[in-house]
Amino acid sequence: QKEVEQNSGPLSVPEGAIASLNCTYSDRGSQSFFWYRQYSGKSPELIMFIYSNGDKEDGRFTAQLNKASQYVSLLIRDSQPSDSATYLCAVKISGGYQKVTFGTGTKLQVIP
Amino acid sequence: GAVVSQHPSRVICKSGTSVKIECRSLDFQATTMFWYRQFPKQSLMLMATSNEGSKATYEQGVEKDKFLINHASLTLSTLTVTSAHPEDSSFYICSARVGGGGTGNTIYFGEGSWLTVV
Protein backbone atom coordinates (compact mmCIF):
# COMPACT_ATOMS: atom_id res chain seq x y z
CA GLN A 1 0.00 0.00 0.00
CA LYS A 2 1.34 3.41 -0.95
CA GLU A 3 1.89 5.82 1.90
CA VAL A 4 -0.12 8.57 0.24
CA GLU A 5 -2.68 7.78 -2.45
CA GLN A 6 -4.47 10.02 -4.86
CA ASN A 7 -6.57 9.35 -7.90
CA SER A 8 -4.50 10.47 -10.87
CA GLY A 9 -7.51 11.77 -12.75
CA PRO A 10 -8.01 13.74 -14.81
CA LEU A 11 -10.89 15.20 -12.87
CA SER A 12 -12.96 17.42 -15.12
CA VAL A 13 -15.36 19.99 -13.72
CA PRO A 14 -17.21 22.84 -15.41
CA GLU A 15 -16.24 26.40 -14.62
CA GLY A 16 -17.99 27.64 -11.49
CA ALA A 17 -18.49 24.17 -10.02
CA ILE A 18 -16.93 22.71 -6.89
CA ALA A 19 -13.89 20.51 -7.46
CA SER A 20 -13.30 17.83 -4.82
CA LEU A 21 -9.88 16.26 -4.56
CA ASN A 22 -9.23 13.36 -2.22
CA CYS A 23 -6.19 11.83 -0.61
CA THR A 24 -5.75 8.87 1.71
CA TYR A 25 -2.73 8.00 3.79
CA SER A 26 -1.54 4.87 5.51
CA ASP A 27 0.45 6.11 8.51
CA ARG A 28 -1.99 6.63 11.36
CA GLY A 29 0.62 8.67 13.19
CA SER A 30 0.79 11.32 10.46
CA GLN A 31 0.71 14.80 11.86
CA SER A 32 0.58 17.40 9.14
CA PHE A 33 -1.12 17.51 5.78
CA PHE A 34 -0.46 19.79 2.84
CA TRP A 35 -1.97 20.56 -0.51
CA TYR A 36 0.22 21.82 -3.33
CA ARG A 37 -0.68 22.95 -6.82
CA GLN A 38 1.68 22.24 -9.69
CA TYR A 39 1.26 23.72 -13.13
CA SER A 40 2.84 21.84 -16.00
CA GLY A 41 6.58 22.47 -16.12
CA LYS A 42 6.61 24.40 -12.85
CA SER A 43 7.47 23.49 -9.29
CA PRO A 44 4.75 22.92 -6.68
CA GLU A 45 3.32 25.84 -4.76
CA LEU A 46 1.74 25.51 -1.35
CA ILE A 47 -2.01 26.09 -1.25
CA MET A 48 -2.72 25.27 2.36
CA PHE A 49 -1.94 22.99 5.24
CA ILE A 50 -4.06 21.42 7.96
CA TYR A 51 -3.18 19.74 11.23
CA SER A 52 -6.46 19.27 13.08
CA ASN A 53 -9.57 17.29 12.28
CA GLY A 54 -12.28 19.26 10.57
CA ASP A 55 -12.34 21.94 7.94
CA LYS A 56 -9.98 24.77 7.21
CA GLU A 57 -11.00 27.46 4.77
CA ASP A 58 -8.83 29.89 2.82
CA GLY A 59 -10.61 31.85 0.14
CA ARG A 60 -12.06 29.45 -2.42
CA PHE A 61 -10.15 26.53 -0.93
CA THR A 62 -11.26 24.29 1.92
CA ALA A 63 -9.15 21.49 3.31
CA GLN A 64 -10.91 18.73 5.21
CA LEU A 65 -9.13 16.29 7.49
CA ASN A 66 -10.50 13.10 9.00
CA LYS A 67 -7.76 11.32 10.93
CA ALA A 68 -9.99 8.44 11.98
CA SER A 69 -10.65 7.58 8.35
CA GLN A 70 -7.17 8.67 7.28
CA TYR A 71 -8.19 10.95 4.50
CA VAL A 72 -7.71 14.56 3.63
CA SER A 73 -9.53 16.40 0.89
CA LEU A 74 -9.38 19.73 -0.89
CA LEU A 75 -12.47 21.52 -2.13
CA ILE A 76 -12.18 24.29 -4.68
CA ARG A 77 -15.30 26.43 -4.92
CA ASP A 78 -16.20 28.42 -8.02
CA SER A 79 -13.56 26.58 -10.05
CA GLN A 80 -11.79 28.64 -12.69
CA PRO A 81 -9.88 27.53 -15.78
CA SER A 82 -6.76 28.88 -14.07
CA ASP A 83 -7.24 26.22 -11.39
CA SER A 84 -6.42 23.57 -13.99
CA ALA A 85 -3.28 21.93 -12.64
CA THR A 86 -2.06 18.87 -10.81
CA TYR A 87 -2.81 18.91 -7.10
CA LEU A 88 -0.40 17.14 -4.81
CA CYS A 89 -1.29 15.88 -1.38
CA ALA A 90 1.62 15.70 1.05
CA VAL A 91 1.72 14.08 4.45
CA LYS A 92 4.30 14.48 7.15
CA ILE A 93 4.60 11.02 8.61
CA SER A 94 5.65 10.23 12.13
CA GLY A 95 9.19 9.21 12.83
CA GLY A 96 12.73 10.39 13.13
CA TYR A 97 13.27 13.24 10.77
CA GLN A 98 9.73 14.17 9.95
CA LYS A 99 9.71 12.99 6.37
CA VAL A 100 7.12 14.45 4.05
CA THR A 101 5.67 12.04 1.52
CA PHE A 102 3.86 13.19 -1.60
CA GLY A 103 1.06 11.53 -3.45
CA THR A 104 1.27 11.18 -7.21
CA GLY A 105 -1.15 14.03 -7.71
CA THR A 106 -4.58 14.50 -9.23
CA LYS A 107 -4.87 16.37 -12.50
CA LEU A 108 -7.75 18.81 -12.47
CA GLN A 109 -9.26 20.23 -15.63
CA VAL A 110 -11.73 23.08 -15.34
CA ILE A 111 -13.78 23.34 -18.50
CA PRO A 112 -14.80 26.89 -19.52
CA GLY B 1 5.06 32.41 2.17
CA ALA B 2 8.76 31.78 2.51
CA VAL B 3 10.95 32.24 -0.54
CA VAL B 4 13.20 29.52 -1.87
CA SER B 5 15.31 30.37 -4.88
CA GLN B 6 16.87 27.86 -7.22
CA HIS B 7 19.54 28.45 -9.85
CA PRO B 8 19.93 27.84 -12.71
CA SER B 9 16.39 27.41 -13.94
CA ARG B 10 17.59 25.66 -17.06
CA VAL B 11 20.92 24.09 -17.88
CA ILE B 12 22.21 22.04 -20.78
CA CYS B 13 25.41 20.09 -20.32
CA LYS B 14 27.41 17.57 -22.25
CA SER B 15 27.38 13.94 -21.28
CA GLY B 16 30.17 13.16 -18.84
CA THR B 17 30.37 16.62 -17.34
CA SER B 18 29.14 17.76 -13.94
CA VAL B 19 26.57 20.40 -13.18
CA LYS B 20 25.78 22.18 -9.94
CA ILE B 21 22.34 23.42 -8.89
CA GLU B 22 21.95 25.87 -6.03
CA CYS B 23 19.05 26.20 -3.64
CA ARG B 24 18.81 29.23 -1.38
CA SER B 25 16.38 30.20 1.33
CA LEU B 26 16.06 33.95 0.90
CA ASP B 27 14.19 35.14 3.97
CA PHE B 28 14.69 32.39 6.51
CA GLN B 29 17.26 29.93 7.73
CA ALA B 30 16.75 26.37 6.61
CA THR B 31 18.46 23.67 8.61
CA THR B 32 16.84 21.10 6.38
CA MET B 33 16.40 21.17 2.64
CA PHE B 34 15.12 18.47 0.35
CA TRP B 35 16.02 17.56 -3.22
CA TYR B 36 13.49 16.03 -5.57
CA ARG B 37 13.56 14.82 -9.13
CA GLN B 38 10.54 14.75 -11.38
CA PHE B 39 10.39 13.15 -14.79
CA PRO B 40 7.73 14.41 -17.23
CA LYS B 41 4.20 13.52 -16.17
CA GLN B 42 5.46 11.66 -13.12
CA SER B 43 5.30 12.46 -9.45
CA LEU B 44 7.96 14.02 -7.29
CA MET B 45 10.63 11.63 -6.16
CA LEU B 46 12.55 12.54 -3.03
CA MET B 47 16.24 12.06 -3.67
CA ALA B 48 17.80 13.19 -0.42
CA THR B 49 17.43 15.25 2.70
CA SER B 50 20.11 17.86 3.15
CA ASN B 51 21.05 18.84 6.68
CA GLU B 52 23.16 21.89 7.41
CA GLY B 53 26.59 20.95 8.63
CA SER B 54 26.17 17.21 8.23
CA LYS B 55 25.96 14.56 5.56
CA ALA B 56 22.86 14.30 3.44
CA THR B 57 20.47 11.41 3.91
CA TYR B 58 19.81 9.70 0.58
CA GLU B 59 16.72 7.76 -0.34
CA GLN B 60 17.01 4.16 -1.36
CA GLY B 61 18.25 3.77 -4.91
CA VAL B 62 19.82 7.23 -5.16
CA GLU B 63 23.57 7.14 -5.75
CA LYS B 64 25.23 9.46 -3.28
CA ASP B 65 28.46 9.55 -5.26
CA LYS B 66 26.61 10.67 -8.36
CA PHE B 67 24.36 13.23 -6.71
CA LEU B 68 26.59 15.18 -4.37
CA ILE B 69 24.79 17.35 -1.86
CA ASN B 70 26.42 20.05 0.20
CA HIS B 71 24.58 22.13 2.78
CA ALA B 72 27.35 24.39 3.97
CA SER B 73 25.23 27.17 5.41
CA LEU B 74 21.76 27.74 6.77
CA THR B 75 20.66 29.36 3.53
CA LEU B 76 22.36 27.33 0.82
CA SER B 77 22.27 23.74 -0.34
CA THR B 78 23.82 22.55 -3.59
CA LEU B 79 23.21 19.47 -5.69
CA THR B 80 25.97 18.42 -8.08
CA VAL B 81 25.15 15.86 -10.72
CA THR B 82 28.48 14.26 -11.50
CA SER B 83 29.34 12.59 -14.80
CA ALA B 84 25.89 13.40 -16.11
CA HIS B 85 24.26 11.17 -18.68
CA PRO B 86 21.17 11.70 -20.84
CA GLU B 87 19.08 9.60 -18.44
CA ASP B 88 19.81 12.20 -15.75
CA SER B 89 17.85 14.75 -17.74
CA SER B 90 14.98 15.75 -15.50
CA PHE B 91 13.36 18.51 -13.48
CA TYR B 92 15.22 18.91 -10.19
CA ILE B 93 13.41 20.73 -7.41
CA CYS B 94 14.62 21.73 -3.99
CA SER B 95 12.48 22.58 -1.02
CA ALA B 96 13.11 23.91 2.43
CA ARG B 97 11.31 23.47 5.68
CA VAL B 98 10.25 26.54 7.57
CA GLY B 99 9.93 25.98 11.27
CA GLY B 100 11.49 23.86 13.98
CA GLY B 101 10.35 20.42 12.90
CA GLY B 102 7.12 20.07 14.83
CA THR B 103 3.60 20.20 13.46
CA GLY B 104 3.83 23.90 12.90
CA ASN B 105 6.13 23.91 9.89
CA THR B 106 5.61 23.79 6.16
CA ILE B 107 7.67 23.10 3.10
CA TYR B 108 8.25 25.58 0.32
CA PHE B 109 9.67 24.75 -3.07
CA GLY B 110 12.21 26.44 -5.27
CA GLU B 111 11.34 27.19 -8.88
CA GLY B 112 13.03 24.04 -10.11
CA SER B 113 15.89 23.42 -12.50
CA TRP B 114 15.51 21.75 -15.85
CA LEU B 115 18.58 19.69 -16.65
CA THR B 116 19.17 18.45 -20.17
CA VAL B 117 22.18 16.26 -20.81
CA VAL B 118 23.16 15.99 -24.46
pLDDT higher than threshold 60 for residue A5? yes
Q: pLDDT value at position B100?
A: 56
Q: pLDDT value at position A112?
A: 95
A103 touches chain B (CB under 8 A): yes
pLDDT digits (tens, 9 = 90+) for A55-66: 999 999 999 999
Q: Quick one: average pLDDT of A44-50?
A: 92
Three-point CA angle B87, B90, B96, nearest 5°: 135
Which amino acid is residue B10, in one-letter code? R
Under-50 pLDDT residues of chain B: 103
Query: What is the percent of chain A where pLDDT is above 90?
Result: 76
Helix, strand, or coil (residue A17): coil
- Name the interface residues of B facing A (CB cutoff 8 Å): 1, 6, 32, 34, 42-44, 46, 49, 57, 91, 93, 97, 101, 103-112
